[in-house]
Structure 1
């Protein structure tokens, strides 16, 4: 009997195990989940844990454009300065998903509202910065320097002083392609000053080039404002030495740098001096100053400078502040995203300075050249708008692909979102044609009338939004 029991016990255990196996699913749910691809599992978990509508309702989003005015007034998205349309490198994908954040996958049976919200959110990240037609008028006004039609500030004087104020804060070490913003800025500045007339005086002022971005270094970094090339005739060896003496480091005292420049221009009044200032920055004021107020007092002084403000790959908040700085100084604002665009912004000054040099010799101005420069400003606007239209559409399509690869979107949802991107692309194309037509139609009416007409048609309607 004892032997029989010993034989029966294993048989009974095997029988019970078989019964349990028949009564359970072939693969437990938890085990099946582990078998999924990591990206699919992540998306699946997020669907279960979060509701798309409630998560996106708390996110700040741009208004999806419905007309030309909306495009002009939209700030760039968090990654709008990156040319996503050109590739899907690991760096680009990483930057996108970092900006995308902790947003759940779109449910396969998503409602139209959820689809709209998802598109709005993605668009808010990728949106490009479309140029304001008023900026074209500013450039055209500068192009008319020295002509009878020019504003008194742009009339040629006996002396021409050019100062470049360069941001040397830590963020200028960020890369654009395979070079840092600082490397690209230095190259563009070297090329510019190397071609200005011998009679013109040049100076270089830098800020934020000491310390680090830490709170402990803030006070010292905010005081780091130096004219590293003293105003005078351009000497290549000395200028190169000054350019090589600093690297990106700390904070961003924009207001302090403008105040320092204002002090250095004392005695160079606008009666006998044309004073041109370039402020190149990639960041917002971080040293508790008020750059807008300082820019206004600088512009209202007897120095009467022409202030060109260049935002280098800036976000929406920074762009807004730099635009306000330029507006307060009755100056010119431009936002550039790479070295070629930065060099292009300096190009117009080279042409104006060449005409000034000719004026000094012949006491006359090449009005035809100025007129051609105005036409080129419109052409440049048209080309940039065209590039931004294509770049934004292709960038959206590419990130839809990123999200599908990660399990956030289905193929059908990608198709639906691509249709929405195409609708904005069409609005942008039609807007470009309308704006160019307006600029060309009113070009011969004079800048004053042109400003009024463009302002009335394209200025943001704050009461209607």
Structure 2
């Protein structure tokens, strides 16, 4: 396609030159005629008609303006340039496609989604400069980029994995009673599809699987919010105020739990702060000295009911309830991920963002293993549970797998996006190859670095959790 377009360009140039020569000849003839008829009245000037575009200087000027627009427009959009360091990859947020893995969707669906998000962004000129290609790639990258795990997340995961061991934080030491609550977002956005099922359908199934497998001695509960009203402004007050413990704290009963799940569907707004406040009130009397209180908050969106979930999480964590609050973002966008991460941070819990049922199941599986150790501890309290009874390298393996998945998804998304744009004749084959070169420049830090990161974590692990924490905080400081 590129060669055909280039050939057309030179044909237009030649045609323009011919027209110019004919115009000169015509003017010369008119001058001769005027000299031969000096008495002829002068004709009034009339506005000249705009010539049709013929691909000559006017078209070139318009094309030059379009070239400048791409660079200027990207600068005005204040987009982050593609990362050049590992730290920039870690700090990277999801793109405007919300980190959706295009290759997990039907080709027609993912094609449509990309083209819609691309919008009316200017096309590349036929022979773009390096600056124009860089700007174009920055825009494309801003659409398809996804988040990467932070090596410091290994510390949170490892802290939780050490529950009940001599190395554990006091909050994670085993107590006589174990209380588990899942707080589930039932706002309207949970009706969105994640593959062939809605987020709500996937969440209900995996929550059921998790709670049905906990020890009989453990108490479980399910709290939902956003399930009343609609997402309209008129229903906001109603939707934000209704937060319900649909399965009250008790041992797990399969039939009763199934009935509880049937009582709600995704509907309205997102009162994350209100849900945490409601949970805090229900845990009154369950002192952390005698109870291990584990809470999972599963949400796909940001607070929309004017509350401050970060402040509530901090207050909850500092109470004598001493909860372990782990937060799971379900296809959460960049703003929601930032807020949910802060909630987990203030609550001294773990945060993870999942995109499908398998990833959600994996997050709950970590608790399954801890609960099995608690059950063992309950049955044989004299038996010491040592660090050797768990695989502390699991945290590093999880990080490695998450990084690998993120880098694979990023590369596949970029590749598919470039193919689609070429198929739509938005870019040429030559454009695609030039942009593909820029994609390859990213691979050493998005893909190739994962083995180095894993080895670095393993080396830090040998020196113990405290030393590991210090090293990672020095190596990967939080973004200011």
Determine the structure 1 residue equivalent to 2:36. Answer: none
The structural deviation recorded for 1:442 is 1.4
Q: TM-score, normalised by structure 1?
A: 0.87
1:304 and 1:163, CA in 2 relative to 1: closer, same or farther beyond 3 A?
A: same
Counterpart of 1:278 in structure 2 is 296
1:181 matches 2:195: no
Q: Is the contact between residue 62 and residue 123 of structure 1 (CA under 8 Å) also seen in structure 2?
A: no
Q: Which has the higher Rg, Structure 1 or Structure 2? A: 2
Report the equivalent of 1:75. Answer: 93
2: distance between equivalents of 1:399 and 1:256?
A: 40
Judged with a 3 Å threshold, the aligned counterparts in structure 2 of structure 1 residues 365 and 337 are, in CA distance, closer, same or farther, namely farther
Does the aligned pair in 2 maintain the 1:390–1:425 contact within 8 Å? Answer: no
What is the Cα-based RMSD across aligned positions, in Å? 2.3
How many Å apart are 1:368 and its aligned residue?
4.9
Which sits farther off after the overlay, 132-141 or 228-237?
132-141
The 8 Å contact of residues 186 and 265 in structure 2, kept in 1 or not, is answered as yes
State whether structure 2 residue 378 is matched by structure 1 residue 360: yes
**How many residues in Structure 1 have an aligned counterpart in Structure 2?**
426
- The answer as to whether partners of 1:168 and 1:250 remain within 8 angstroms in 2 is yes
Could you tell me how far 1:56 is from its partner in structure 2? 2.2
What's the offset of the Cα at 1:193? 0.3
C-alpha displacement at 1:438, in angstroms?
Answer: 1.4
Residue 365 of structure 1 deviates from its aligned partner by 4.6
Q: Which runs of 4+ in 1 moved over 4 A?
A: 29-33, 44-50
Indicate the residue corresponding to 2:429 in structure 1.
411
2:64, 2:94 → 1: CA distance? 28
Report if the CA contact (8 A) 2:98-2:334 is conserved.
Answer: no
Q: Deviations over 1:350-374 (max 9, x none)?
A: 00001000000011354256531x2
The one of 134, 139, 150 aligned to 1:121: 139
Q: Which residue of structure 1 aligns with residue 190 of structure 2?
A: 172
Distance 1:380 1:299 in 2: 26
After superposition, the Cα gap between the structure-2 partners of 1:30 and 1:190, relative to the gap in structure 1 and judged at 3 Å, is farther
| Aligned match of 1:435 | 453
Q: Is residue 225–residue 270 contact of structure 2 (8 Å, CA) maintained in 1?
A: yes
Q: TM-score, normalised by structure 2?
A: 0.85
Aligned in 2, Cα 1:32/1:195: closer, same or farther, shift over 3 Å? Answer: farther
Q: CA deviation at 1:389?
A: 1.1
Q: 1:268 maps to what in 2? A: 286
What CA distance in whole angstroms lies between the structure 1 residues aligned with 2:230 and 2:306?
17
Q: Unaligned 5+ residue runs, structure 2?
A: 1-21, 23-50, 56-61
Q: Which residue matches 1:348?
A: 366
Change (3 A) 1:289 1:45: farther
The answer to whether 1:111 aligns with 2:129 is: yes
- Within 5 A, what are the aligned runs for 1:303-452? 303-363=321-381, 364-368=383-387, 370-372=389-391, 374-452=392-470
Residue aligning to 2:238: 220
Offset at residue 84 of structure 1 (A):
1.4
Give the drift of 1:45: 10
Q: Does 1:235 align with 2:253?
A: yes
SS in 2 for 1:304: coil
Query: What are the superposed Cα offsets for residues 52-108 of structure 1, whole Å, 9 maximum, x if unpaired?
Result: 223222224233111211111111112243111345622212222232222111111
Q: Secondary structure at the match of 2:180?
A: strand
1:196 and 2:225 are equivalent in the alignment: no
Superposed CA deviations along residues 167-217 of structure 1, whole A, max 9, x for unmatched, are 000000000111000001011101000100000000000000011111111
Correspondence for 2:11: none
Q: Determine if contact 2:91/2:479 at 8 Å carries over to the other structure.
A: no
Quote the residue 1:8 is aligned against: none
Aligned to 2:471: 453
Task: Please state whether the residue corresponding to 1:51 is helix, strand or coil.
Answer: helix
Find the counterpart in structure 1 of residue 6 from structure 2: none
Deviation at 1:141, TM superposition (A): 0.8
